[in-house]
């Protein structure tokens, strides 16, 4: 029989904590390091235990079983009142009614006591978990996980007085630099309506901005400018509370003279880039387009307190940032890149003497893309911890939202879309085969057909188009050793991005959304508007877990998917499964970001912070909960049934789904499954 959690907590965990404190008093200062390490172990165990009990109680409180129990408690109370109001005609019936009423009242009291105990345990263990997570966040080495869980528990309980009491002290003990990774998610919670919560959050954000302005202010500026380029009045009203609170914090920061100057430069450059991002171009414009000297980007002059965010700026624990990289010269022209919203490629010269390029995007909310880059950075930390997994790291790039509908990102230098190479290579190596445009037209023409006929026509098309991607490595890397190393890099990055992409439900992997670094041969994924299985509810559902078409396989050598690729996929899945708890903790904070929508519905997202009447519980929408549930199913090796698959079986099933012609034949014609 399992022991009561309260008994376990008092008799084991608290006893261990007390024994440690007694032992510490008897030691010399030279032994304090060993004690500190032991304390971290004990506090970690206590925090995880308390978190586990809290989570169990919280799940129960939100379960159908709990709702049903509350319903029957209400029914029982009504029955008691009904019996009390009745006047039986005989004394015998009066005794029977009284006995029945007593039984119902006793049962009702037992149910009430159980419910009360559940809520007491939930609140007590929530407070314990937060108290110890706060200490671990302040003093532990693996602080990212502790910070993520701390933020998740805090944001899930914004109206809890005990939570506010603990965190008023606990947050102040945590160095501000430890919050920088989750700062976008913290800032997006400024739209919550609970005054005590937003005051405490504002105090934390103020500290982060004062001590690390170049890592923090961008996020608040994007919230303040959220509707700077709004198209209509409704869009301007959306998220008003969030915008107002962000503006108030920025006004408070302006009291500091140095911070005020940084804010001024950041605002001027940000608004100039917003204007340029939304600048309309002439129809059918192409090539380099000249900019007017009157453009705001030129009239504001050089702003040497604006650090270009795409340039890495190491976090300093002493908060002394003296060597930032600002823009010394903006070009007189930009070039248009392909895409629906016509993104602009803009080059600039920086104070370190280097030229850099950014991609400006208007009419496009980049918050989700920026968040996916955060996820990749966390996963890279997991890969980086093991020397034999470092080759699996995902290539990332910086994305900076400026408003709700514009922003810019780092241009991936030396990279080309797969479409750019493959379309030319097929024409060069197979000049007599069906062209790229002809192939897409054939797929478009057979798209209304039944699945069986689609498969037949797709197989016919594949007979007329043979892979050429293997030639790329021979063309670019003539040295045998270099050829081998680059092809290995390609295979490893395809494997890791495929497995991570599957776990995160990343779709829309057409040839223009996958880049190839021509120097390192790394695969780089861009555009994450369709994530967490939203591809399944498109007009043409995506039936493959990742892109593994014949051209991509041909570049892997004669073993194809059965060599290094399969083993790298298994290694990736193994480490992701081993770190399921860590990934789940991090994703819980990121997925419930009010600025992002992970719905598998094609209906537009409702801004959860559009007005002050929406409670935080409503912001924990079903789409985020479902996305997190599906991630955990995949990390557990489960798919459409309850069977738990081994890593090797799971990887094999995924590869077969990805290369299955029946699935590929039913993909959208723009996906170009024949390449």
518, 516, 554, 524: which is closest to 426 by C-alpha? 554
Q: Do domains 245-410 and 415-597+620-671 have the same CATH topology?
A: no
Average pLDDT estimate for 171-194? 94
Strand partners, 417: 515
Closest to 439 in 3D by CA, of 464, 421, 420, 415: 464
Q: What does the alpha-carbon distance between residue 387 and residue 395 come to, in Å, rounded to a whole number?
A: 17
Cα distances from 137 to residues 46, 131, 445, 480, in angstroms, run 14, 10, 58, 48
Higher pLDDT, 166 or 233: 166
Q: In the Cβ-directed half-sphere of 172, how many Cα atoms lie within 13 Å?
A: 7
Query: Dihedral, CA atoms, 477, 480, 481, 484, nearest 10 degrees?
Result: 70
User: In the structure encoding, which two tokens stand for residue 2, read together?
Assistant: 């399992």
> Is the dihedral angle over the CA atoms 232, 238, 241, 245 positive or is it negative?
negative
Average pLDDT over residues 542-550: 97
At 67, is the secondary structure helix, strand, or coil? helix
pLDDT over 70 at 258, yes or no: yes
Residue 638: its H or E element: none
Q: What is the mean pLDDT of the chain?
A: 91
Helix, strand, coil % over all residues of the chain, rounded to 5? 60, 5, 35
Residue whose C-alpha is closest to residue 5's, from 60, 58, 54: 54
What's residue 374's pLDDT? Answer: 95
Among 141-150, 408-417, 482-491, the minimum mean pLDDT is found in 141-150
Gap between the Cα atoms of 382 and 579, Å rounded: 8
DSSP calls for 408-461: EEE--TTEEEHHHHHHHHHHHH-TTSPPHHHHHHHHHHHTTS-HHHHHHHHHHH
303 and 269 in contact (C-beta within 8 Å)? yes
Mean pLDDT of 542-551: 97
Give me the percent of the chain exceeding a pLDDT of 70.
93
* Mean pLDDT, residues 336-358: 90
Helix (H) or strand (E) holding 193: none
pLDDT band of 235, cuts 50, 70, 90: low
Which pLDDT value is given to residue 55? 95
If you write DSSP's letter for every residue of 523-564 in order, what string do you get?
Answer: EEE---SS-TTGGGGSSS---SSS---HHHHHTT-TTGGGSH
| Three-state secondary structure readout of 327-357 | EEECCCEEEECCCCCCCEEEEEEECCCCEEE
pTM for the whole structure: 0.89
Looking at per-residue pLDDT, the higher value among 653 and 601 belongs to: 653
Torsion of CA 420, 424, 426, 429, to 10 degrees: -140
> Residue 337 in contact with residue 420, Cβ under 8 Å?
no
Judged against a pLDDT cut of 80, whether residue 233 lies above it is answered with no
| Close Cβ partners of 348 (under 8 Å, ≥ 6 residues apart) | 308, 327, 329, 330, 331, 355, 356, 357, 358
CA distances from 419 to 115, 297, 423, 465, 606 (A): 60, 33, 6, 15, 35
Say how far apart CA 227 and CA 609 lie, in whole Å.
14
Domain 245-410 has what CATH class? alpha beta
Enter the tokens of residue 138: 């302040």
Every domain of the chain and the residues it spans:
5-174, 245-410, 415-597+620-671
Beta carbons of 341 and 364 less than 8 angstroms apart: yes
The dihedral over CA atoms of 544, 547, 553, 559, expressed in degrees to the nearest 10, equals -60
Q: Are strands 514-517 and 333-336 parallel, antiparallel or unpaired?
A: unpaired
Residue 118: pLDDT band with limits 50, 70, 90? very high
Number of CB atoms found within 10 A of residue 611's CB: 14
pLDDT at 602 over 50: no
Partners of residue 356 on adjacent β-strands: 348
Q: State the pLDDT at residue 607.
A: 44
* CA distance linking residue 21 with residue 29, whole number of Å: 14
Residue 27: pLDDT above 90? no
Supply the CATH classification number for the domain 415-597+620-671: 1.10.1070.11
357 forms bridges with which residues in the sheet? 347
DSSP state of 13: I
Residue 611 pLDDT class (50, 70, 90 cuts): very low
Q: What is the pLDDT of residues 628-670, one digit of tens each?
A: 999 999 999 987 666 788 999 999 999 999 999 999 999 999 9
Task: Give the model confidence (pLDDT) of 477-494 as tens digits.
Answer: 999 999 999 999 999 999
What are the phi and psi torsion angles at 514 (to 5°)?
-125, 120
Q: What is the mean pLDDT of residues 9-34?
A: 82
Is the model's pLDDT at 291 over the cut of 80?
Answer: yes
SS3 488: helix
* pLDDT recorded at residue 254: 97
Write out the two tokens for 568.
């790298």
Q: Looking at the predicted structure, is the pLDDT value of residue 610 above 60? A: no
Say if residues 639 and 653 touch (Cβ distance below 8 Å).
yes
* Distance of alpha carbon 569 from alpha carbon 388, whole angstroms: 14
Question: On the CB side of 126, how many CA atoms lie within 13 Å of its CA?
Answer: 27
With cut-offs at 50, 70 and 90, classify the pLDDT of residue 597.
confident
Q: What is the DSSP letter of 232?
A: S
CA distance 475 to 480: 12
Task: Quote the CA–CA distance of 264 and 324 in Å, as a whole number.
Answer: 16
Token pair belonging to 660: 């299955």
Contact 350, 406 (CB under 8 A): no
Q: What is the C-alpha to C-alpha distance for residues 8 and 103, in angstroms, rounded to an integer?
A: 34
Q: In the structure, how many helices (H) and strands (E) does the chain have?
A: 27, 10
CA-derived radius of gyration, the chain: 29
- Report residue 145 as tokens: 């996980």
Which residue is listed with tokens 């689609």? 454
């Amino acid at each position: 029989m399992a022991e009561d959690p309260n008994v376990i907590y008092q008799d084991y965990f608290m006893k261990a904590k007390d024994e440690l404190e007694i032992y510490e008093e008897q030691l010399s200062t030279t032994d304090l390091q060993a004690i500190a390490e032991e304390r971290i172990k004990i506090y970690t165990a206590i925090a995880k235990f308390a978190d586990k009990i809290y989570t169990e109680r919280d799940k129960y409180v939100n379960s159908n079983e709990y709702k049903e129990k509350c319903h029957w408690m209400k029914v029982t109370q009504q029955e008691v009142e009904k019996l009390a109001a009745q006047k039986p005609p005989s004394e015998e019936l009066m005794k029977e009614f009284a006995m029945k009423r007593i039984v119902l009242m006793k049962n009702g009291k037992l149910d009430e006591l159980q419910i009360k105990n559940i809520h007491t345990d939930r609140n007590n263990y929530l407070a314990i978990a937060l108290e110890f997570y706060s200490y671990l966040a302040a003093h532990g080495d693996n602080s990212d996980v502790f910070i993520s869980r701390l933020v998740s528990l805090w944001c899930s309980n914004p109206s809890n007085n005990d939570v506010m009491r603990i965190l008023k002290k606990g947050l102040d003990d945590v160095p501000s630099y430890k919050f920088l990774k989750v700062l976008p998610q913290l800032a997006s919670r400024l739209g919550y309506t609970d005054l005590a919560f937003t005051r405490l959050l504002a105090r934390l954000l103020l500290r982060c901005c004062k001590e690390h302005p170049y890592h923090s202010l961008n996020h608040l500026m994007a919230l303040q400018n959220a509707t700077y380029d709004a198209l209509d009045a409704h869009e301007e009203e959306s998220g008003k509370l969030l915008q107002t609170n962000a503006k108030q914090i920025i006004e408070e920061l302006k009291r500091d003279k140095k911070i005020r100057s940084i804010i001024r430069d950041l605002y001027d450059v940000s608004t100039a880039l917003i204007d340029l991002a939304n600048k309309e171009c002439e129809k059918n414009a192409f090539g380099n387009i000249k900019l007017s000297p009157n453009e705001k980007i030129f009239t504001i002059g050089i702003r040497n307190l604006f650090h270009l965010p795409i340039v890495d700026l190491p976090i300093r624990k002493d908060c002394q940032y003296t060597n930032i990289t600002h823009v010394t010269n903006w070009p007189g022209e930009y070039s248009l890149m392909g895409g629906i919203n016509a993104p602009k490629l803009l080059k600039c010269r920086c104070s370190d003497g280097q030229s850099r390029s950014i991609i400006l995007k208007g009419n496009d909310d980049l918050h989700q893309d920026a968040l996916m880059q955060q996820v990749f950075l966390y996963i890279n930390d997991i890969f980086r911890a093991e020397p034999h997994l470092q080759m699996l790291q995902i290539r990332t790039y910086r994305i900076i939202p400026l408003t709700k509908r514009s922003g810019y990102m780092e241009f991936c230098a030396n990279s080309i879309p797969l479409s750019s190479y493959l379309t030319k290579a097929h024409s060069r190596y197979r000049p007599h085969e069906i062209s790229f445009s002809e192939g897409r037209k054939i797929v478009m023409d057979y798209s209304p057909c039944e699945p069986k006929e689609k498969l037949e026509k797709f197989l016919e098309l594949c007979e007329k188009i043979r892979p050429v991607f293997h030639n790329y490595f021979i063309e670019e890397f003539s040295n045998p050793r270099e050829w081998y190393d680059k092809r290995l890099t390609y295979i490893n990055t395809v494997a890791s991005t495929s497995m991570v992409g599957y776990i995160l439900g990343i779709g829309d992997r057409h040839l223009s959304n996958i880049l190839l670094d021509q120097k390192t041969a790394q695969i780089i994924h861009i555009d994450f508007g369709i994530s967490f299985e939203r591809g399944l509810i498109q007009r043409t559902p995506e039936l493959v877990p990742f892109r593994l078409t014949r051209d991509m396989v041909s570049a892997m050598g004669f073993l194809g998917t059965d060599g290094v690729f399969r083993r790298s996929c298994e290694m990736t899945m193994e480490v992701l499964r081993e770190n399921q708890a860590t990934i789940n903790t991090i994703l819980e904070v990121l997925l419930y970001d009010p600025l992002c929508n992970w719905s598998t519905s094609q209906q537009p997202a409702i801004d959860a912070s559009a007005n002050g009447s929406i409670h935080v519980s409503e912001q924990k929408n079903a789409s985020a909960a479902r996305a997190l549930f599906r991630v955990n199913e995949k990390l557990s090796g489960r798919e459409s049934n309850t069977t738990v698959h081994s890593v090797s079986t799971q990887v094999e099933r995924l590869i077969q789904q990805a290369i299955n012609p029946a699935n590929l034949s039913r993909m959208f014609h723009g996906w170009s499954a024949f390449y």
